[in-house]
Amino acid sequence: MYHGLIDVPTFAYFDFGNIWMGSLLGDMNYRIEPLKKAEPPALKVSVWYGEICFELGQISTEFEEEFSDDGYQRVIVKINELAAEYRKKLSEPRN
């Protein structure tokens, strides 16, 4: 399901313990991992750039939100903000 620029499943997907990864704008990649056993439970988000897998990529941004539908909504907003910033950077003239 698309939310702004990103494709993310519903919160129920994460409630079942699944990890989601996506990419957009050519080489902006993101990973959302449920940390249900953490104290407190959280959704962990990692963002990296380039055409390389998560395991080998250099994480440029990492953050966590509470493991709830509200936290899930904040994750979507933050990833979309990062994507908008990256899109703006791509559109700027290069010297």
pTM above 0.75, yes or no: yes
Does the structure show a pLDDT above 80 at 70?
yes
Q: Which of 20-24, 70-74, 91-95 has the highest mean pLDDT?
A: 70-74
pLDDT at residue 22 in the model: 92
Tokens of 65: 């939100």
Q: For residue 12, what are its two tokens?
A: 């129920």
- Give the confidence band of 95 by pLDDT, cuts at 50, 70, 90: low
Which parts of 1-95 fold into alpha helices (H)?
Answer: 11-15, 69-91
What mean pLDDT value characterizes the chain? 91
Give the pLDDT band of residue 29 (cuts 50, 70, 90). very high
